[in-house]
Chain A
Amino acid sequence: MDEPGGYAGPASKSAVVSDDSRAFDVVVVGAGPAGSASALEVARAGYTVALVERGPYPGAKNVYGGVVYGRILDELVPGWWERMPVQRWVTRRATMIMTPTQALTVDMRAQDWGRPPYNGATAYRADLDAWLADQAVAAGAVLIPATVATGLLRGPDGSVAGVRTDRPDGDLTASVVIACDGVNSFLAKEAGMYPAENVAEHTTLGVKETIALPREVIDERFGLSGRDGADIEMIGCTRGIPGGGFLYTNLESVSLGVVVGLTGLAAAKVRPEELIADLKEHPAIAPLVRGGTLQEYSAHLIPEGGYRSMPELVGDGMLVAGDAAAMCLAAGIWLEGVNFALGAGMYAGRAAAAALRSGDTSKSGLAAYRTMLEDSFVLADHRKLRKVPDLVLSQRVQADYPGLLCDLVQGLFTVENPAPKPGLRRLLRLGTRAHGVRRRDLVRDALVGLRSFG
């Protein structure tokens, strides 16, 4: 069997190319949402672009819970809602605060979200990624599947000049490389763009089960009809391990999963599938998933550090977008990564095209990328919510507050005749004492929350 010429593994130093000719204007690594959006924009601007994907087809290897917010697609694929492969439109969004025997839910239903221009939709990644990549290919991008980028190529001046792949004769030269290779991007690491920090602290593990149920059963249990769908985010359901849970409805299956901090998970010595098993037995969840057949179990890492754990986004001849740049917004009631990846990819593609137009693909030539991100939701939201990951993953939000809130509301609705109804203030005092919550922390957390979300 032919071995790829001079394999350059993740840790090996970048190979140097001397020749000035470039096979493509841009090479995009990874055909996830970020990569396909980049390739689409570059191809539309009239430049040649290769989209390198390690899976046999886009979406083959990608995992996610299932809700994608398509607003950014208005700009990228006008009229997307008529063509995107959607399972259901999310018209019901609930946040559930849980203890092992209690659940307090804020449940929002908006029929506006079920008609154009829509809000969120559940979709399968294999469908979604393949569709997005098709848009890029139709615009002229060259998709290279079943091919792994194993390292960077550099020009004599040290600027990035392409990628090496695991195929024989596998060097792919380009003026700009856009790294969209997902969480733990070794391309960004090889380029020296990640600060040398403990990555595990900023990474969470997402595990999910896809559970098949007949469409009518899902409609009935979740109170849905037609293409309407539900999205439930949960907090306080992970045995105190920092994280949260989710339950999304597809057409004929539901996705049930948890997202937990790596360090917390390791310290608790719990297997992630036990947490899903817990959820399936929880009195608030069990009736929703009962009788379903397990279709798939999958696990994937999520960059959850937010703004403060992002790498440098621009280098000489290189841009980083999506999960590769830790752009997943995983802040409590939000778990949004696909829309951020789409947005960042789109801007990266535009910045690369602008740099090619001006003939300067150095760091300064590509600097517009960062400006575009800052002027848009991509970095604005991340900056605004930068303190949220720490807050959401704190012991108080994970365990103390859910217990406190559930007890408070339970107390409010428990009828203790002949004793008179307790006042809210008394319940709060009892609750804070029972759950060891200090007023000081409560006020401080409320302020962080207000500043971030307000």
Chain B
Amino acid sequence: MLVVAAQRWIDPHPRVDAMTGRVDTDARAGGASEADQCALEHALRLAERFGGRCVAVTAGPVAAEEMLRQALAAGADEVLRVDAPPGGDPVLEDGAETARVLAAGLTARYGHVDLVLCGDRSADRGTGSTPAYLAARLGAAQALGLLDVGRDGDGLRALRRLDGGRRESLAVPLPAVCSVEPTAVRLRRASLPATLAARRSEIPHVAVDAAPRGAVAVKAVRTYRPRARVLPAPSGDDARRRTLELTGALVERAPSRVVTPSSPEQAAGELLGFLRAHGYLPEERDD
């Protein structure tokens, strides 16, 4: 039984320039996000429950070895670093490509993987798509955005958050890919002897081939910067009026509503009603 924790190597505390949206990261501060640390903790616990081995894996550059050492110190039996294909970004931006590289690396090294745990979404890219792609690649079941996951016989039992404070309980067969929210568990603190041993370990790595041609690839990720909108000069004849006009203060508005529909039908009804009320859809005809 092989339980894998896939961790993305990021700077968990990047600096963001509020004006330009530029993000500054520091490789020295690189490590796993909260969610990825929870994934490792779940992986360690499940490996114990199943009497299996726990492997921490990342697709990333040599600098990411520090993160894998922390995983070793915390109790992972093995770690694996997968080199991204040369020429591209060492930490992939694209969920599909990350999943392809991880799956290829894991398969090359271990042949078969029973269970992969990921964080629900990466702190930098944040689409949460990697685990889904990974499940497809590995031909495994997927259960994403879990609050908790534990062993249930030969498979897993998992808990997921729903709207309205409800939870759904899932039965997940193996092999599976699960992603977890950064809640419920915390990564255990590594002991000193394990930390020392991890400092001296060799970190194995495998390289994978470049993506086959023809796949859609993410080229760059930029912050969204809406185009500047030209506004007419305010027409009021004193400063107060002009300010009111510009800011829209004191204008009567319908307050926004928070709705929590109890069924998909009701939710669809709400949306359609809103679009009609604002003229985006024609009025409903009674026929």
Contacts and interface: CB of A to CB of B under 8 A. Distances in A.
A60 interface: yes
Interface string B213-228: 0000000000000000
Contact of A147 (B26, B28, B186, B195): B195
Given A2-B188, A130-B28, A169 B193 contact: yes
A169 B29 contact: no
Question: Interface of chain A, helix or strand or loop or mixed?
Answer: loop
Contacts of B26: 126
Given A57-B29, A130-B28, A167 B199 contact: no
Nearest to B73: A167
B188 A1 contact: yes
A168 B192 contact: yes
A23 B195 CA distance: 14
A265 to B, nearest CB: 29
A56 B29 CA distance: 7
Question: Interface of chain B, helix or strand or loop or mixed?
Answer: helix
B195 A1 contact: no
A56 B190 CA distance: 14
Contacts of B188: 1-2
B196 A169 contact: no
A49 to B, nearest CB: 12
B31 interface: yes
B55 to A, nearest CB: 22
A126 B28 contact: yes
Contacts of B192: 144, 147, 165, 167-172
A1 B199 contact: no
Which of B26, B66, B188, B193 counts the most A-chain CB atoms under 10 A from its CB?
B193
A168 B189 contact: yes
Which of B28, B190, B192 counts the most A-chain CB atoms under 10 A from its CB?
B192
Interface in B142-194: 186, 188-193
Interface string A346-387: 000000000000000000000000000000000000000000
A147 B190 CA distance: 10
A142 B191 contact: no
Interface in A126-169: 126, 130, 142-144, 147, 165, 167-169
Contacts of A143: 199
B29 A142 contact: no
Interface string B1-43: 0000000000000000000000000101101000000000000
B191 A60 contact: no
B253 interface: no
B278 interface: no
A153 to B, nearest CB: 12
Given A167-B190, A168-B189, A144 B195 contact: yes
A383 to B, nearest CB: 38
A247 to B, nearest CB: 23
Contact of B191 (A50, A126, A169): A169
A125 B262 CA distance: 55
A142 B196 contact: yes
Contacts of B186: 1
A144 B196 contact: yes
A213 to B, nearest CB: 14
Contacts of A147: 192, 195
B277 to A, nearest CB: 44
Contacts of B191: 2, 167-170
B200 interface: yes
Given A167-B192, A168-B189, A60 B29 contact: yes
Contacts of A169: 191-193
A129 to B, nearest CB: 10
Given A2-B188, A143-B199, 4 more contacts: A2-B191, A57-B28, A57-B66, A172-B192
Shortest 6 CB-CB distances between A and B: which pairs?
A168-B191, A167-B192, A169-B191, A170-B192, A57-B28, A169-B192
Interface of A: 1-2, 4, 23, 50, 56-57, 59-60, 126, 130, 142-144, 147, 165, 167-172
28 contacts: A1-B188, A23-B196, A50-B196, A56-B29, A57-B66, A60-B29, A126-B26, A126-B28, A142-B199, A142-B200, A143-B199, A144-B192, A144-B195, A144-B199, A147-B192, A167-B189, A167-B191, A167-B192, A167-B195, A168-B189, A168-B190, A168-B191, A168-B192, A169-B191, A169-B192, A169-B193, A170-B191, A172-B192
